Structure formats: C-alpha cells, structure tokens
Structure 1
Amino acid sequence: MMDMGQYLEIFIEESKENLQNMNQSLLDLENNYGDKSILNDIFRVAHTLKGMSSTMGFSKVASLTHEMENVLQALRNNEIPTSEKIIDLLFECLDILEEYINEISNTGDEGDLESNHLIKKLNNVMSTNIELSITESSDEEIPAISSEILIEAEEFSKSIVEKAALEGYNGYRIKIELNPNCMLKSARAFIIFNTIERDCEILKSNPPVEDIEDEKFDTSFELIILTRMAQEELKRELCGISEVENVLIEKIILKEYSTRTDQQEVENKLSLEIEESMDEDEDKRQSKTKKPKVGKTVRVDIDRLDNLMNLVSELIIIKTRLEDIDDDGRKQNMNEAIEYLERITTSLHDAVMKVRMVPIERVFNRFPRMIRDLSKELGKEISLFMSGEETEVDRTVIDEIGDPLIHLIRNSIDHGIEDPETRKRFGKPDAGTVKLIAYPDGNSVVIEVEDDGQGINIDRVKAKALEKGIITKEQSDTMDEKEAIHLLFHAGFSTADKISDISGRGVGLDVVKTKIESLGGIVEVQTIKNKGSKFIIRLPLTLAIIQALLVNIGTEKYAIPLNSIKEIITIKTASIRKVQNQEVVLYRNHTLPILRMNKILHVDREEPAKEDLTVVVVKKGDKTAGFVVDSLIGQQEIVIKSLGKFLSGIKVIAGATILGNGQVALIVDTNSLF
C-alpha cells in the first residue's frame, strides 16, 4: 500500500492556501451576490479540497466540502438564491475546515471535532433540490442488488459472524461505481478501501482484492462488510471520495449461526478477539498522537534560486583560485582574490535573505474576515483599507507578527471606533475606517494600524493608572502626553470598564510591546482626540544577519545593533550629574541618561580614572540613552545565533555571534534597557 504521509506537508500547505482563497472569495461574494465568477471560484476551491482530502483519507474534510459543493452548485445554477444566511453558513464551514487543517498540521489527524450540525444545515438549504439523498436507496435504483441477501455463516469465519451477532454489528453489501473517465482506478480503489477499513471489517470483495489492485475490473466492484456505522454515515463518507460516481448500499440479514460448539468456547473466542481489537485501537490512538514531521516551508521564485545557484558556482571558482595561489605568489593576487570573495559573499548573503523573504500579505489576508465578524458582533460599520501587502519581510517575522496586529486591530475597533450614533454627533461618516499599511524604510519594515475613532483619552488613561497604583498623583500632574500614552503598554493596564471577548481583558498592550521588542522592533503611538489613533510598528528586515558595532567592556567584547545607534560621542566625567539616583548629562540642551554598561552586564573591572568617556548614544523611538563603553572596535556584519532555551530568559542579551577569530561576542538588547 502507498504511504500517503509523504504528501502530508504539501496537502497542508495547499489546503491553507485554498482556504485563504475561499475566505477572500466569500468576502467578495458578500458585496456582490450575483457574481457567477466568484461562485465558480468558491466551487473550484471546495472541489479541490474535497479531492485532496479524499486522496489523503481525511473523511471529515471530504464530507463537509462535498455538501458545500452541492449548495454552491445550486447557487451557480440559480436553483436557490444567494443570501446573507447562506454566506454566514459557508463562513461557518470555512472555520471548521480551518480547524481540521490546523489539527492535521499539529497531530496528523482531523481530531474529534464534528461537523454534522453544519452538514444538516447544508442539507436543509438543499432540501428541495437534492435528488440523491443519503437515505436508503429504492429498489429501482439498485437493480444489481437484491432486496434481501441471506448469508450463510459458513461462507466466512465462524468467529467473525459470532462477533457480529453478539456485538450488534451491521452487515452491508456495497456496490461502488467509479467515474468512467477515472484514470487511476486501482489508486482510487485503494483510497476507498482505506476509508472503509478505518471503521469497518471487509469480509469479501468481488472481484478479489488482487484483481482490483491490478486494475482487472471495469468501473465498479462490490464489497461485503461488517460495521457499527449507520448506513447513511457510511454512504456519506464514500460519496465524499473523488471520482466515485455512485454508491449503492444494501443491509444484509445475517442468518443466525446455530453453532454446535460449546457456548463457553464461543465466548472465549469473542473475548480474545475483543482484547486484540482493543490492543489494535490503542496502537492506533498512540500512532495518532505522534506529531507528524511537518516543516515550515517558503515558496521561492525560481529566478531567486537561479541567482543563488550562480553565486555558489562563483564561490567554488574563487575557492579553486585561492588554492592555486602559491606561498610564493604575489600578495596582490591574494588581495584581489579576497576582495572578489568578499563581493561574492555579500551578494550571496543578499540572495539568501531574499529567499527567506515573504510578502506581508500572508498576515494581512486574515484581517478582512476578522473585521467583518467584529463589525457584526459590535453593531458597528467598519471598512478596512490595506496597503503595501507586497512588502517583504523575513519569514520569522511573518510567523510572529500576526498576534500583535490582531490585538491592535481589535483594540482599534473596540476602544477606538465609536458606535454609529456617536459618530453622527461628531459629524463623522457612519462607517469607521481602519487602515493597515506596510512599507519598507531603509533596513526596517514599518507597519501602521490607524483608525478614525475617538483617539486616546489621556485624562482617562492617567485616572486609570492612578486608580491601579501604577503612578502617583504628583507623577500624574507632571506627566506629558507621550509619557501618559506609554502607560498603555504597562503590564495589566486596560481602560475598559468591562471585560469583553474583543479586548479589554486586563492584558493591555503589554503583550504587543513584548512581542515586537523580542523581534528587535519598537512600537510608537500617535493620537488626536476625536480624530483617531495610529500605532506604528518598526521591525528589522531580517533577524538572521545584521550590521553591528563591536565594543570592548573590560576584557569582553559586545555587539550593539547598528540600527539602534544614533551617534557616538565623548563626554567629560566631570559633566555627569545625578538626578533621582540616575546619572545624566546635559547634551545639546537635552538631558541624556547615562548607563554604565560594565555594571549592567556585571563585567568585573577596575573603574579607570578617565577624564573623557566614550558613549554610544542609542535610540528607541523618541527616547535616547548613552551607553558608556571602554573602547570601540568597529562596525561588522554579524550572524545572530540563539543562546538556546536555558539562557532564553536573559533580558539584556538578544543573542550571540561568533567573530572571525572564533571568539563569542554577546549582542546587547538595547530595547530592554530603556
């Protein structure tokens, strides 16, 4: 038998893409009920999913998409009108399908989630149009199968019939007709056998299994099975398999077997079989809990791979050239070869980074549906404007940025955008607008979440912070707007009076800040009362290779990311003052906090009596701080390496890098020091 596990990764990747396409098409259909091309697109996706899931043996996905196909076909043929109720039902089906695919991705199995309630709803929609119902077939429909078949127990193993009689199994005779145009009949039969054997026991096959495997049959074959499944459920599973034209099922009356053996012997046999069956079930359960090996994949343009291949070829050429340079060779030749090698490695780095880059559209695509559901739930009219979906970011960033954006958008809809009556009072349009914009900015990617709602009420934020004991009355009176907005990111802070499913769970925006900063990014907020708010996220293009400044602190070397450095200055030791136990210096008419890196990083060294100190001025949004270092080594491109799970909780350190001489330099997480 063929091992379908090897195709699991492709199935999951393509299913997720198909479901995303279905989601977008359903959103489009909601705005244009009569568009047949959209219905055709949704039908094609449902049909593809049905075929793929049937081939892989995922019967729940196949059954649900099969019923969806029936409804979509009726919509295409104008047999039933497109309505909001039907679109909502199709969205419900989409959600269940996404849960199935996620469960398959995590465990290799569809799980215990049932979709029978949705299948019933789909059948109710089609109740006046379904010609082939999944009830017991009439005599006229099954001329090849008699109304009653008596099976003598001697035809089969005694123990099997005894088990069937005592355990309440049903006997069925099934005739399966394949599509006359089916290209791989034996492969399709294999899928059918696979589906049946999950919950049934096949007693007999006509023609024999060997002939079916060798394609020595026309377009139909018959099976006799034992199962506890209901006839309707069995038929639904088989009809969900692609290229199955028709399924005819007839219940068998199992003739009671009058055994001459001792009743105790029969019970012993039955007990043994049940124990074996339980062992098999346990094995199946254990095998299902083993997580399949599903890797993370990136689809790459073939031109980028060609470029990568060319650069590797160049690398091999320069390697050969370096080998040919003798010890007596001219130094000029060696220098030229090294310069050439440097150019190739730089180009190779750029090419590899492009291979890792994926459009942020992957994240943005989930939000139109979320906005639709939230607007219905809250009774607000909301339109979503998206721009810059083609902006490319590192795959690692894509995987992590989704949750913070969901939180920000939910926050904008719940806290920011007012209800229609309030908007009318302020002369705003009934429909609120949420803008989601992405664009590259140097070595960073900027994502903006903007709404035209009521903005952030600074006085309310201060009052809540005062109530929770986060700030004192004196701090509240002297705090400016930017400092007050920064309170929103305090752990456990929320301005919501009630905890809801949308936002305001008492979590606040600290989860957003923590996640963004763990990616090496920053969050800024702009707000105007009764005009709206804008959250600006700035992220590095890549998390793998960065430009950094190497510095000496005592006998140790540290790397500071270059994109967080504003400038490098020299200050006089005598000019440093202490304000509230914090060292500061007046620099360009602004107060600059001074941080002694040797104390923060616990580097043991004697404090040198220097008149002049080397200070690296680091920025985070509109904040700055000066890091005192012993000396500068220089700028260098470094590869970031994780410290591993045992050292993952260290706040000041973002990772490590290996230098050219083999030494390890720790990378300073500047965001955590503000």
Structure 2
Amino acid sequence: MALDIKKFISRFVEEAKDHLGHLGKGVEELEQGTDPELVNSLFRSAHTLKGSSRMLKLEPITQVAHSLEDLLSALRDGRLTCSAEVSALLYQAVDTLTDQVESLEAKSEVAELTATQVAFCKQLTALAENPELLNSTASKSAQAESEASIVEPSEAKVDSPPSDQSKPALKSADTVRIKLSKLEELIKLMGELVSNHAGMRELAATARQLEKTAESKPNSHLEMQQFSRNIRETVLAQEDLMQELHDKTLQMRMLPLGIVLDSASRLVRDMARSLDKQVECRIQGSEIELDRQMIDQLADPMIHLLRNALDHGIEQPAEREKKGKPSRGLIQITARQDAGWVVLEITDDGAGLSLDAIRDKALKKGLVTSTDLDEMSDQEVTDLIFEPGFSTSSLITEVSGRGVGMDVVKRSIVDELQGVISLKTQLDKGTCFTLRLPLSLAKMRVLTISAAGHELGFTAQYIAELLSVPEASLIKVADRNAVIIRNEFVPVVKLADLINLPATNQPVQKPLGAAKKELLLLVIRVHTEKLALVIDELLDERDLVIKQLPEHLQSNTLISGMVTSGHNRLVSLLHVPYLLAKARKVRGTGKSEGKAAVEQERKRILVVDDSLNTREIERDVLEAWGYQVTLAEHGQDGLDKARAEVFDAVLTDVEMPIMDGFTLTARLREEENYQDKPIIIITSRAKESDRRRGIEVGADAYIVKGSFDQNSLVDTLKILLD
C-alpha cells in the first residue's frame, strides 16, 4: 500500500517553521560573532530540513537546504569565516526556504526551482568548497537578485504592478501549540465545575423544600440559616472555579511575540532591498507573551513603523558614510514586560526627524497656525506626525509618502489596542517609537466609580492613584483648578462636566465652589501627563471581562469597551487618552487678563520642570500675561536650550533627573548671557536650608509650590524684568 505523503505535510511545515525561526535568529547572532556551538546548531537545523524534505520527496526544498548545509559546514570547519557577504547569502537561503514552506502550506506542493534559484544553490556549494570565490559569488548573487528577486518563489519582474500578495506582511500562524498539561488542567477544572454545578442543583431542590415546609416547622429559621451558609459557600467556590477556568483559558491564548516579530527581520531585508539600503534588524524579547487577539492586531502598526524607519530614517549607504556612520543601518525591536504592560520599542540609527521639516509641512497642511507653532514645545511639534495625512516625504513611493501610516499606527495602538504610543528623536542620531500595550484586552483590572449618579469604569493601567483632598487645597492657575501632588501641579476637573454627563435623580457631587470639605480625586495618567477627576465614590475594583463595543458604536472615541457589573448591569469603560485630550481642548486659555500689559514686549521665558503637567500649567499662566514660553524637560535640557538662544528669564524646578535646579542655576550664572537674567526657583522644598542654597547658587526668587499664587509669580517676574 502506497504511503500517503500528504498526511505528513502539515507536520513537516510545523517543524520546518521552528527550524527556520532558529536559523533566522542564528544568522543574526552570527553577525555579532562566530560561536562554534551556534554554527553546529544551525547546521543541524539545515540538515534536518534536508532530510525531512527528502523523505517527503520535496526535492526543491531539499536542494536549497542542502546548499545551505554546505555553506554552514564550511563555517563549522573553519574553511570560511562569517562576514557581511556570507550573512547576506545565509539570509537569502533562509528566505528562500521560508517562501517554499509557506507555498507548501498554502498549496500542499512546492514549485520547482527557477533557473536563478538553481544558480544560487550552485553558488553556495561552490563557495563552501572554495572560499576564495567569496567576492565573485557575492557580486553574482547581488546581480541575480536585482534581476530576478531570487528570494521570491516566482520570477515576478521588479516593475510588475503590486498585488495583495506582494505587500509586506508580518505573518502569524492560524494554529498554535498547546501543552498537554494545560489541556489536562482545563479538563480537570471543567470536571470540578460540573460537580459544583450539581451541588447547586441540590441546593435549588433544598430551597424548594424549605419553601414548602417553612410555615409548618417552628424551627425553620435555623434550617434557613444553614441553607444560606451552604449556598453562600457553594457560590463562592463556583466563582473561584470559574475565575480559575477563565484564567487558564486566557493563558492558552497568550503567545510569544516571536510569532509576529520573527518575520520582521526578513520584512526589513526585503523592504531595504527595494530601497537600495543596507539594514540589519535585531530583535530582543520575542519570548514575551501577549494575547493572541492583540498579536494579530499588532502586525499592521508594526509594518507602518518599520516602513517609516526604513524610508524616513535609515539613510543611503553613501550618505551614512559621509556622516561617519557604518554604511549598514540598524533597526532594533525590543520587547519587555513592565507590570501589566508589554513595552515594545522600535529604534533606528537613522537621520532622525527634522523639526523644521515637520513645522513646514504642518503649516502647508493647515494643521496648525504659525502662532500655534511658536508656542509648541519640540515634543508637541514631533507629535504632529501622528496627524491624519501628515508626511514629510517629498516623494510618493511604494514604501511611504502617501500621508498614510503614522495616524493609522496611533489609531490602532490607542483606540483598538488600548495602548499608548510615544516617540523620541534626535537629528542624525535616530528615532525610537515606544508602544505600551496591555497584556490582554479580554480581561483587565477595572475600577468602577460613580459620577453624577452614573456608574462608569476605568481600566487600572491608566490609574495613577485615588485620593481625598481638602477642597481648600485646590489652587487656581490659568483659569483652572489644580492640586499639588508630590511636587507636581495636576489639573483638576469634574468628570461629569468634562464629558457632559446628564443629571440623574440620584445624589450628585457638589460643584467645586460649593461648601464641601473633601474632594475624591481619581488621578488618571498617560505617560507623564496626569489629570485629577472629581468623582462621587469608588464602587468596586476587580478583574472583569471586557466586552467590545458593537460595530455601530466603535466610532465612539469616549468609550473603549463595556463590562458587566452585578445584576447584569452594563458599565461603560472610559477611554483615558481621549479624556486627557478633551481636557486639554476645553481648558481655559485666560490670555485676555493681562496680555495687553506685556504684549508689546513679548518677553521670552524658559520653563524647566520634569513634570509635563507643571510645565503646561506654568506656561498657561505666563502666556495668559503675554509672555512667550519655551519648555524644557530637565536641567540639562534647560541648559542646552538656554545656550542655544537667549531668554529674558528662567523658571526652574529643583528635583529633576540628569541635572537638578540648583545645578542648573549655578551653571547658568557661569554663562555670559545669564549673569544678570532673572532666575526663579519654583519647588515643593520649603526648608529654610533649601531657600538659602537657592539664593547661594544665584536664584533671584524662591517660590514654594504649596503656597503657589499665580499673581505672586507674575508680580515677581514683572519686578525682576523691569
């Protein structure tokens, strides 16, 4: 009876993917330095692929695997050393095998090798036998690649119109492996749950019996008490079982990020090749696990970020050499876990983002006015790239420049994945995009609160703290309320007013101006930006299953999902990034109060503070009086900006990273341009020794945040500037 080879194809594909993943990572490691054991391991993977494919009569795969094995054998025996040219050939071989395996998985067969692929295999074998052929082999390979794309399973021409199949993709498997032990745990839990449910049925029968005999038995209340205890214990036990069952089920859906990241190296190589750029892609932390549902949605944003790094970031080899950089660019993808978040960083060592180019494009697109740009910090200008239709590329290509991409990334990360995205860039040094994602969208820690009689929810990763403060502790700055929390100004707003909650018949929170001794504040946070929401009370805190909004409601940016809270009540989850954005838009500008007094002079003030909220509030106060304000994130940033341009006065905090305010003040006094310029320290340090030190290092005024008065600040600044 003939052997049915097709039955073994799926098993071969599964094992081949594991070996190819190992080969891809191994080649990356070889570029950092040759390790004999690593080479042996890669040789074994290629050998296994050759043998397995030969048994299944998959001759095209066997030929490529055999030529790869020859090249690895030469490396293992020391006849050949790993170099950039050898790495490129190894990558091409692995990519060709990957295409073949994917074709086999989709069509249950693999196409015969093209003439170019046959030539490539012969080149690898010839190089293994005679390493002196390296230069000519590499050049021939490069020539063949430009003519016929040897890593593609077909011989499509370069100028062929793009199809859906040719679009870049980070692929994840349709099936996943589950350990037998996990399945056994799940089956065991199901058995316990069934048994427990049988007990619930018995209790229901007992309840009916008690109902019938309650009137005839004088001591029936004792039986009722016992019954109440029994049912309470049974319900609690069932809740524990269901909780554990749900947790185990979710764990089965948690998969390593490598499922989507491992193909990123090849994607980068393919896109770099189309741009005539040399790029290395390094991946760390691919073992970090994330919910499969999120992994699937992460692929598109990752492709956009990689495209951005390759097209806008990494320069052409000749340009990089002129800048003193290696001709080969570097893209690093790093994953790590931070409490309940997974943090992904996509970093390149390219040209960085030009703030001037962003400003010019933003003006041409009408995204902002010139006045707005003058008042925006460097980070705010950088964040304009996330606006819809924004692109600094002057040329529309197959990779980017269509004004589509970064806004899609932000919408996917923030709205769909409930995450946070930020970026840091430095001209000619590179750019780093940071994505913070919850481990799962299926179940999260949720706080339910009451505001104006409405029950609402917040996912815990956005909550900084919950605190009660005296109403008298609120301060008025820039026409809005704020509270000082550990050396930081945090804006305060009533949640009901912020989202226009309708009044209900239930008791509601009194307005801020009413006689009330204590306010309950829920402090929400995204990155370093915070907002204190006035709420009525905290109702509950627990892990809850998140329900996605129906399709017709998914455009609602205020609501991120729903949870069920007791008695099957649906509770809306508020989307914190939207709340922060809305608070920024509705805050009072207050620029009419004193603007005329100093409008004609437009004195320039530098504000230095590591707290985003404090910087923004101080800027609003000063701009309300007509001052032109520049912001700095810490002492060193402030010193750099003070040296780059001359300011009329400097306001600085004390406790900051990299360089504190005392050191900054002392350093500024050493600068010729700042020997006589006013420097004001604004801090929460109230000790007399701190005041003396501030004066000793050269500060003209020392203002304590706890007793902060915006009029006092403005008056002090006026006196010092006169």
Q: Would the TM-score normalized by the shorter structure come out above 0.5?
A: yes
* Aligned-partner Cα distance in 1 for 2:4–2:324: 64
| CA displacement 1:110-140 (0-9 Å, x = unmatched) | 8xxx956x4233445679999xxxxxxxxxx
User: What amino acid sits opposite 1:520 in the alignment?
Assistant: Q
Choose the corresponding residue for 2:100, options 97, 100, 106: 97
1:389 CA drift (Å): 2.0
Matched letter for residue 432 of structure 2:
K
Aligned ranges 1:28-39 → 2 under 5 Å: 38=42
Displacement of 1:474:
1.1
2:354 to 451, 457, 460: 457
Instruction: Identify if the C-alpha distance between structure 1 residues 385 and 505 changes in structure 2 by more than 3 Å, giving closer, same or farther.
Output: same
Distance 1:129 1:512 in 2: 40
The CA distance in 1 between the partners of 2:482 and 2:123, in whole Å, is 82
Give distance in 1, aligned partners of 2:256 and 2:524.
Answer: 30
Distance 1:443 1:124, change over 3 A: closer
Change in CA separation of 1:51 and 1:595 when aligned onto 2, cut-off 3 Å: farther
Match of 1:666 among 572, 580, 583: 572
In the other structure, the counterpart of 2:186 is 308
Moved more, 462-471 or 411-420: 411-420
Amino acid at match of 1:600: I
The match for 1:121 is: 116
**Partners of 2:254 and 2:121 in 1: CA distance:** 45
- 1:640 corresponds to 2:564: no
Matches within 5 A, 1:230-269: none
Distance change >3 Å, CA 101–CA 520, structure 1 → 2: farther
| Match of residue 529, structure 2, among 605, 623, 630 | 623
Q: Distance in 2 between matches of 1:303 and 1:431?
A: 46
Alignment of 1:427-446 (within 5 A): 428-446=325-343
**What corresponds to 2:618 in structure 1?**
none
Report whether the alignment pairs 1:496 with 2:393. Answer: yes
Deviation at 1:446, TM superposition (A): 1.1
Bigger mean CA deviation after superposition, 558-567 or 67-76: 67-76
Measure how far apart 1:605 and its partner are: 4.3
Matched, 1:525 2:423: yes
Secondary structure at the aligned position of 1:533 is classed as: strand
In the TM superposition, what is the alpha-carbon distance from 1:519 to its structure 2 partner?
0.7
The verdict on how the C-alpha distance between 1:480 and 1:90 changes in structure 2, with shifts beyond 3 A counting, is: same
Residue deviations 1:204-238 (CA, integer Å, cap 9, x gap): xxxxxxxxxxxxxxxxxxxxxxxxxxxxxxxxxxx
Give the letter aligned to residue 45 of structure 2. D
The corresponding residue for 1:395 is 292
Residues 494 and 504 of structure 1 are in contact (CA less than 8 Å); yes or no, is this contact kept in structure 2? yes
Is the partner of 1:651 in helix, strand or coil?
Answer: coil
Q: Aligned match of 1:483 in 380, 405, 425? A: 380
Shift of 1:71: 5.2
Partners of 1:437 and 1:449 within 8 A in 2: yes
Q: Partner amino acid for 1:552?
A: S
Per-residue deviation at 1:577?
7.6
Q: 2: distance between equivalents of 1:478 and 1:99?
A: 53
Distance verdict in 2 for CA 1:70–1:514, change over 3 Å = same
Q: 2:482 aligns with which of 568, 586, 592?
A: 586
**Does residue 543 in structure 1 map to residue 441 in structure 2?**
yes
**Contact 1:523 1:621 (8 Å CA) reproduced:** no
Is the CA contact (8 Å cut-off) linking 1:553 and 1:598 kept in structure 2? no
Instruction: State the percentage of identical aligned residues.
Output: 27
Judging changes above 3 Å, is the alpha-carbon distance between structure 1 residues 338 and 480 closer, same or farther for their aligned structure 2 residues? same
Q: Please say if residues 26 and 42 of structure 1, whose CA atoms lie closer than 8 Å, have aligned partners that are also in contact.
A: no
Instruction: Say if 1:455 and 1:527, in contact at 8 Å, map to a contact too.
Output: yes
Q: Give the structure 2 partner of residue 564 of structure 1.
A: 462
Q: CA deviation at 1:524?
A: 1.8
1:415 to 1:6, Cα distance in 2 relative to 1, 3 A:
same
Equivalent in 290, 293, 299 of residue 177 of structure 2: 299
* Matches of 1:49 and 1:557, distance apart in 2: 61
Give the equivalent residue in structure 2 for 1:41: 45
Number of equivalences: 490
Q: Aligned pair in 2 of structure 1 residues 546, 44: CA closer, same or farther (>3 Å)? A: same
In 1, Cα distance between equivalents of 2:200 and 2:299: 46
**Offset, 1:545:** 0.9
Which of 369, 382, 391 pairs up with 1:472? 369
Name the aligned partner's letter for residue 586 of structure 1: A
Report the Cα distance in structure 2 between the residues aligned to 1:128 and 1:544, rounded to whole angstroms. Answer: 51
- 1:647: Cα distance to partner? 2.9
Whichever residue aligns with residue 670 of structure 1, its letter is V
In structure 2, C-alpha distance between the alignment counterparts of 1:91 and 1:44, rounded to whole Å: 14
Q: Aligned-pair distance for 1:525?
A: 1.8
Change beyond 3 A, Cα 1:420–1:599: closer
Matches within 5 A, 1:185-334: 296-316=174-194, 318-319=196-197, 328=223, 330=226
Alpha-carbon offset, residue 661 of structure 1: 0.8
CA contact (8 A) 1:551 1:632 kept: yes
- Is the Cα contact below 8 Å between 1:584 and 1:591 reproduced in 2? no
Q: CA deviation at 1:489?
A: 1.2
Alpha-carbon distance, 1:492 to partner? 1.5
Alpha-carbon RMSD: 4.6
Structure 2: gaps (5+ residues): 126-171, 208-222, 582-722
Which of structures 1 and 2 has the bigger CA Rg?
A: 1
Name the CA distance, whole Å, in 1 between partners of 2:359 and 2:302: 25
Against the structure 1 CA distance between its residues 499 and 339, is the aligned structure 2 distance closer, same or farther, given a 3 Å change threshold? Answer: same
Code of the aligned partner of 2:388: A
- Go from structure 1 to structure 2 and tell me whether the alpha carbon gap of 1:415 and 1:129 turns closer, same or farther (over 3 Å shift): closer
Q: Does 1:365 align with 2:262?
A: yes
SS in 2 for 1:520: coil
Check whether the contact 1:439–1:446 (CA below 8 A) recurs between aligned residues. Answer: yes
Which residue type is aligned with residue 119 of structure 1?
Answer: T
Maintained 8 Å contact 2:546/2:561: yes
Distance change in 2, residues 1:469/1:593 (3 Å):
farther
Q: CA deviation at 1:597?
A: 4.4
Instruction: Find the aligned partners of 1:9 and 1:644 in 2 and give their Cα distance.
Output: 37
Is the alpha carbon distance of 1:512 and 1:451 closer, same or farther for their aligned partners in structure 2, counting shifts above 3 Å? Answer: same
Q: 1:422 to 1:541 in 2, by over 3 A?
A: same
Which letter maps to 2:419? G
Q: Offset at 1:342?
A: 4.6
1:65 matched to 2:61? The reply is: yes
Cα offset for 1:662? 1.6
Provide the rounded CA distance (Å) in 2 between the counterparts of 1:71 and 1:8: 22
Offset at residue 635 of structure 1 (A): 1.4
One-letter code of the match for 2:48? R
Query: Does the Cα contact within 8 Å between 2:272 and 2:279 map onto a contact in 1?
Result: yes
* Deviations, residues 290-339 of structure 1 (Å, cap 9, x unaligned): xxxx9943322233333334444444555456666666253555555555
Pick from 499, 508, 522 the counterpart of residue 600 of structure 1.
499
Contact 1:39 1:76 in 2 (8 A): yes
3-state SS of the aligned residue for 1:619?
strand
SS at match of 2:114: helix
Query: What's the CA shift for 1:521?
Result: 0.7
Relative to structure 1, is the Cα distance of residues 594 and 88 closer, same or farther in structure 2, using a 3 angstrom cutoff? same
Alignment check: 8 A CA contact 1:16 1:101 kept: no
TM-score with structure 1 setting the length = 0.61
* TM-aligned CA deviation for residue 532 of structure 1: 3.3
Cα pair distance change 1:516/1:345, threshold 3 Å? same
The question of whether the paired residues in 2 share the 8 Å contact of 1:641 and 1:657 is answered with: yes
